[in-house]
Structures are given as C-alpha cells and as structure tokens.
Structure 1
C-alpha cells in the first residue's frame, strides 16, 4: 500500500471514529471496539510467537492500536521502541564475532521454538 493509500485509510478511520463518538454512548463503544480488536491482535501475536514469522510485529501492531486510546499503551510502545533502538545500536557496535553469536542465539531460539511446536503437535 502506498503512502497516499495509508493516509486515505487513516483519514477514513479518523472520520469513522468521529462519527461513532458523536453518537450517544459512541465514545465508550469506540473504546470497547478498539480494546477488543487490539487485545485480539496481541493474542494472535502471542499465539504466533513460537513459529517463525512476525509474532512480535503483530503484538506491536496490537499495542499500537491500543495506544490510540490508552496512555499506558502509548507509554509502553514508546519505551519498547527505545529499547529496540538501543539494542539495535548496541548490536551494530559489536565485533563481527559477537554479532555472529547474537545471530546464533537467535537461530537457537527459533530452532527450539520449532522443535517445541513440532513436539507439541506430534
């Protein structure tokens, strides 16, 4: 999706949010809807964590959705972004050997998750 397409989608969602909030009880209904969808997205991400793929990305997307309505979710998302950025910068400053060990540890985690998923299914 292009940047202009994303902008149009965001404008439509903002319009829908304003129309729903203008209704009697609309503010509560919108917040309940955002909460249910955000929690469902986070649960889906947690379910997908043991599998190789975008489990964490899905969790952060759900947290981002919750951050549109809740200050605590916004603070948690900002804190998480800072930690990820700090970790990425730290890893980039390390020697090639340490970067290799970090990658190997990541592969071991993914391999263990795959083995565990296979063992649970079998």
Structure 2
C-alpha cells in the first residue's frame, strides 16, 4: 500500500490555491465565490444587478457631465462603464469600443503641433465657460459679492 505524500517528503505536491498558482490575487477568488453565491439566488441576483446598474449609471452620468471640466471626467466615464461591465455584456463591449476610440483620438491629438493643442485648450475653456454661464454659476457667485450685471444671468436659469 502506498503512503500519502506529506509536506516532508519530496514527492509532495505544492499546496497552493488555484488562483495563487495562476498569479491571480486571493481577492479575485473570493469575489468570484461571493458572486457565484449570489447568482444561485434569483431575487438577490436581480437586486445585485439593479444596484450595479444604478451605481454604474450614476458614475457614468457624472463622468459624462464632467468631461469638459478640469478633473476626472474621462476617468469617471471609464469607471462607470467598468462598473457596468462587471454585470452587463453590452457595457463591456461599449467600454472596449470607447477605450479604443479614446486612444485613437488622444493619439491623434498628442501627435499634432502646439497650434492644435492650443486650439483644443481654448475650445475646452470656452465650453467650460459657456456651460457654467448656462447653469447660472456666474450670476450665483456674482450675487454672493453683490454684483448684479444682466449679462451674467443665464438664459436657462432665469
């Protein structure tokens, strides 16, 4: 009868988890197990997918709104699609497509001379100013300091 190899014997197989041997972090294994547990409960799975959809949708919406402003606009767009892509195949395909288009546009933009870069910066600045004016930000801030100039008032927020 053959004896079972132990950790002391040279024939003992290395004791590793499947994820660790593949170089994946333990967190990914735990997350997959957690998600598999949710998938077996239809009501919980639906609630989870709805929560992911709402949270991902909100992050995506905030990202789209903040694209023209200095800050994390595009990062939030990609984060929103990333959240949605964890549960929805269409979001995964869209994320892949948007990422590719973003890389193409940014590659084109960065390969241009300083004239195009300056025009891009001026256009971005103009878009930010017009958006802030339309949202009534200038008249709000002017009201704080006691300035009442008619041209600061937004035509949309009157």
State the TM-score, normalized to the length of structure 1: 0.72
Which residues of structure 2 form unaligned runs of 5+? 1-24, 144-158
CA distance 1:52–1:9, change in 2 (3 Å): farther
Change (3 A) 1:59 1:73: same
Gap runs ≥5 in structure 1: 1-6
Between the aligned partners of 1:95 and 1:47, the Cα distance in structure 2 is 28
TM-score when scaled to structure 2? 0.58
Separation in 2, partners of 1:9, 1:57: 23
Q: Which runs of 4+ in 1 moved over 6 A?
A: none
Post-superposition offset of 1:52 = 4.3
Contact 2:68 2:124 in 1 (8 A): no
The structure with the larger Rg is 2
Tell me which residue corresponds to 1:69: 87
**Equivalent position of 2:36 in the other structure:** 18
CA–CA separation in structure 1 for the residues paired with 2:110 and 2:66: 27
- Provide the C-alpha distance between the structure 1 equivalents of 2:61 and 2:123, rounded to a whole number of angstroms: 25
- Higher RCO (C-alpha 8 Å, min separation 6): 1
Map of 1:86 onto structure 2? 104
The separation in 2 between residues aligned to 1:102 and 1:48, in whole angstroms, is: 17
Cα RMSD for the two superposed structures: 2.7
Q: Counterpart in 1 of 2:18?
A: none
